């Protein structure tokens, strides 16, 4: 019975090539890895045989023999694709250069699920693990490193024997921005919480608190989304129909857009009456009207850098600096004066 399954059309093996070229497998192995010195003419013979037979080295067998798979696992929170697209592109582009494969995993429930995922990573003998997440604590990361697999963490500052990190420091830029507002006498500032990005929000809050403190004031404008709202969008549209502030700071674009819409529906003029800053930039912050002021970050570079670091770790290169901070640039648009 004919099925759709790979009809066992035997793939050609290194052995076939050896025979075709009239050499031993060792020699074939040598030319495909161009290790050692193989005489020019035998090398050529082998290469011809390879082409003639359409031979493709079996990475699985190589993986077994070498005890490494040249594949690395990428774990991202599910439903974060809008943001993470560019990161992945960066990752993938440099992975391609170094001939690494990326296998994709998503996690919903934080670290618990991570152990399960790492199990999988171990089973599949991935060489390393790249973690994109904004919600892991140092302790949690520490436990992960017990697995002894090289990791790079795209999130917050952290590092140890097995883990390097790439992160964006929002502290400085937010601090400076808030300080600037305070200097101009604008003090009614609120930050919208974002449960999906706790550590970014934490930075934003800390930065704001400090800026207030430096002026002898105290900040208590963190607006939390009640657990009863599974969508922060819903909450925000409700909240802002009856509250008004001078400056609203959000992390995610969808939250900023929610604010935009609600204000507009309630006749609150942006930026005249209320200013709005969305910390995390996205395609949509500049697509909507008015365009939303935000901090532009080099997402592609973050991905590329993470992957580059990973290859270094895997090479056994000595890594002097294990924590990589990326810069962000404030881009005022139309939601601020």
Partner DNA sequence: CTGAAAGCGCTAACAC
Partner DNA sequence: GTGTTAGCGCTTTCAG
Instruction: Work out whether 267 is an interface residue with its own copies (CB under 8 A).
Output: no
**How crowded is residue 177: how many other Cβ atoms within 10 Å of its Cβ?**
23
The partner in contact with residue 164, picked from its own copies, DNA, none with C-beta cut-offs of 5 to 8 angstroms by kind, is: its own copies
Among the listed residues 19, 43, 206, 238, the single contact to DNA using CB under 7 A: 43
The closest alpha carbon to 160, from 175, 138, 178, 181, belongs to 138
d(CA 218, CA 239): 23
Beta carbon of residue 59, minimum distance to DNA (angstroms, whole number): 8
Residue 27: strand, helix, or coil? helix
d(CA 299, CA 279): 14
The closest alpha carbon to 248, from 278, 203, 288, 211, belongs to 278
Among the listed residues 78, 180, 188, 234, the single contact to its own copies using CB under 8 A: 78
CB of 142 closer than 8 Å to CB of 153: no
Beta carbon of residue 163, minimum distance to DNA (angstroms, whole number): 24
**Range list of β-strands (E), the chain:** 71-77, 101-107, 128-132, 151-155, 163-168, 189-192, 222-223, 247-250, 275-280, 293-296, 323-326, 329-331
The C-alpha torsion from 119 through 120 and 126 to 131, rounded to 10°, is -80
- Written as six digits, the tokens of 187 are 């003090």
Beta carbon of residue 1, minimum distance to DNA (angstroms, whole number): 18
Residue 294: strand, helix, or coil? strand
CB of 196 closer than 8 Å to CB of 230: no
Instruction: Work out whether 70 is an interface residue with DNA (CB under 7 A).
Output: no
The partner in contact with residue 30, picked from DNA, its own copies, none with C-beta cut-offs of 5 to 8 angstroms by kind, is: DNA
The closest alpha carbon to 274, from 284, 259, 287, belongs to 259
Residue 249: strand, helix, or coil? strand
Among the listed residues 15, 33, 81, 188, the single contact to its own copies using CB under 8 A: 81
Count the residues of the shown chain that bind DNA, applying the rule CB under 7 A: 33
Instruction: Work out whether 42 is an interface residue with DNA (CB under 7 A).
Output: yes
The partner in contact with residue 146, picked from DNA, its own copies, none with C-beta cut-offs of 5 to 8 angstroms by kind, is: none
Instruction: Work out whether 10 is an interface residue with DNA (CB under 7 A).
Output: yes
Instruction: Work out whether 51 is an interface residue with DNA (CB under 7 A).
Output: no
C-beta of 32 vs 179, nearer to its own copies? 32
Instruction: Work out whether 297 is an interface residue with its own copies (CB under 8 A).
Output: no
- First vs last Cα of the chain: how many Å apart? 72
Among the listed residues 25, 102, 111, 135, the single contact to its own copies using CB under 8 A: 102
C-beta of 50 vs 164, nearer to DNA? 50
Return residues touching DNA (CB under 7 A): 10-11, 13-15, 22-30, 32-33, 35-39, 41-43, 55, 57-58, 61-62, 64-67
Return residues touching its own copies (CB under 8 A): 1-7, 9, 11, 56-61, 63-64, 69, 71, 74, 78-82, 84-86, 88-89, 92, 101-106, 119-120, 122-125, 127, 148-150, 161-162, 164, 233, 254, 257-258, 260-261, 264, 283-284, 287-289, 313-319
């Amino acid at each position: 019975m004919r099925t759709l399954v790979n009809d066992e059309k035997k793939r050609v093996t290194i052995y076939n090539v050896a025979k075709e070229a009239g050499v031993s497998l060792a020699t074939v192995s040598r030319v495909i890895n161009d290790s050692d010195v193989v005489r020019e003419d035998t090398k050529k013979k082998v290469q011809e045989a390879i082409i003639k037979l359409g031979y493709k080295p079996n990475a699985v067998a190589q993986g077994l023999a070498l005890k490494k798979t040249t594949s690395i696992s990428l774990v991202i929170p599910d439903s974060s694709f809008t943001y993470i697209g560019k990161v992945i592109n960066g990752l993938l582009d440099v992975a391609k250069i170094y001939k690494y494969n990326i296998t994709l995993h998503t996690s919903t429930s934080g670290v618990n699920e991570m152990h399960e995922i790492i199990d999988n990573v171990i089973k599949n003998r991935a060489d390393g693990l790249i973690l994109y997440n904004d919600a892991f604590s140092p302790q949690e990361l520490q436990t992960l490193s017990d697995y002894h697999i090289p990791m790079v963490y795209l999130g917050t500052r952290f590092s140890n024997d097995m883990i390097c990190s790439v992160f964006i420091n929002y502290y400085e830029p937010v601090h400076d921005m808030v300080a600037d507002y305070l200097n101009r006498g604008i003090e009614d500032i609120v930050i919208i919480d974002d449960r999906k990005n706790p550590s970014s929000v934490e930075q934003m809050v800390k930065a704001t608190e400090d800026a207030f403190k430096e002026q002898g004031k105290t900040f208590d404008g963190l607006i939390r989304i009640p657990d009863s709202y599974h969508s922060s969008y819903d909450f925000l549209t409700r909240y802002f129909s009856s509250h008004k502030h001078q400056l609203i700071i959000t992390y995610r674009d969808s939250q900023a857009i929610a604010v935009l819409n609600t204000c507009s529906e309630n006749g609150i003029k942006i930026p005249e009456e209320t200013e709005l800053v969305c910390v995390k930039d996205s395609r949509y912050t500049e697509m909507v009207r008015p365009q939303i002021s935000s901090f532009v970050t080099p997402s592609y570079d973050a991905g590329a850098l993470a992957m580059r670091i990973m290859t270094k770790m895997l090479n056994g290169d000595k890594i002097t600096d294990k924590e990589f901070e990326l810069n962000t640039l404030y881009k005022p648009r139309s939601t601020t004066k």
